[in-house]
């Protein structure tokens, strides 16, 4: 399958096999002992690539990028860091849009809202606050973003992943998601 209706009209539920495939970094893994060191490396790459949009997925990475004043246009957070409730300091600093996305899924409404925010530069910077879990919305961000956009997400205990959106990256994600949608 090399095409997919996006944003989806049905909830995409990830099987264990699909989750296993997306646990591997989809982009460039930026390693470092110190989270600030990793964040500064990300900032340097974002500045160098000068993408049309930067999307950060995850509370911890979003907060680190914000602390270091690194450009992010759309933040996707759920108010938790490694499943523990944590109020993000970025909430209240900019406009927040809310939606629901259950763990282990990509809901049609969350994918649609994210897609809309990605394509509304007049609203940037903005936060998409998820009631549920935001992890898999990194995939939705990649599929909704234009070529050369950057999507950044955390890789717990390892660093952060920087994805430069390309047709090849989108194709890889469509192949994984297509397994669920074509059943």
**CB contact at 8 A, 99 and 128:** yes
**CB contact at 8 A, 159 and 16:** no
Question: Does the structure show a pLDDT above 80 at 73?
Answer: yes
Phi, psi of 170 (to 5 degrees): -60, -40
Question: Does the structure show a pLDDT above 90 at 84?
Answer: no
Question: Does the structure show a pLDDT above 80 at 3?
Answer: no
pTM: 0.93
Cross-strand partners of 29: 161
Q: What is the pLDDT of residues 118-154, one digit of tens each?
A: 999 999 999 999 999 999 999 999 999 999 999 999 9
Both structure tokens of 127: 């936060």
| Residue range 76-81: mean pLDDT, rounded | 88
Please report the domains of the chain, with CATH numbers, ordered by start residue: 12-181 (3.40.1380)
Q: What is the pLDDT of residues 34-54, one digit of tens each?
A: 999 999 999 999 999 999 999
**β strands within 45-143, DSSP E:** 54-57, 74-77, 80-81, 84-85, 96-101, 105-106, 126-132
Per-residue confidence (pLDDT) for residue 168, from 0 to 100: 96
């Amino acid at each position: 399958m090399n095409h997919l209706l996006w944003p989806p009209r049905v909830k995409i539920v990830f099987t264990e096999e699909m989750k296993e495939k997306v646990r591997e970094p989809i982009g460039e893994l930026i390693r470092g002992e110190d989270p600030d060191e990793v964040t500064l490396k990300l900032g340097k790459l974002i500045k160098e690539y000068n993408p049309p949009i930067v999307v950060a997925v995850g509370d911890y990475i979003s907060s680190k990028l914000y602390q270091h004043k690194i450009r992010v246009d759309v933040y996707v957070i759920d108010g938790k860091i490694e499943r523990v409730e944590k109020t993000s300091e970025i909430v209240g600093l900019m406009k927040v849009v809310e939606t629901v996305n259950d763990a282990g899924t990509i809901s049609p409404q969350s994918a649609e809202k994210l897609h809309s925010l990605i394509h509304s530069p007049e609203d940037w910077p903005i936060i998409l606050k998820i009631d549920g879990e935001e992890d898999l919305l990194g995939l939705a961000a990649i599929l909704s973003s234009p070529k050369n956009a950057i999507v950044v997400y955390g890789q717990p205990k390892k660093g952060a992943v920087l994805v430069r959106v390309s047709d090849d990256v989108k194709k890889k994600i469509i192949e994984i998601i297509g397994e669920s949608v074509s059943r």
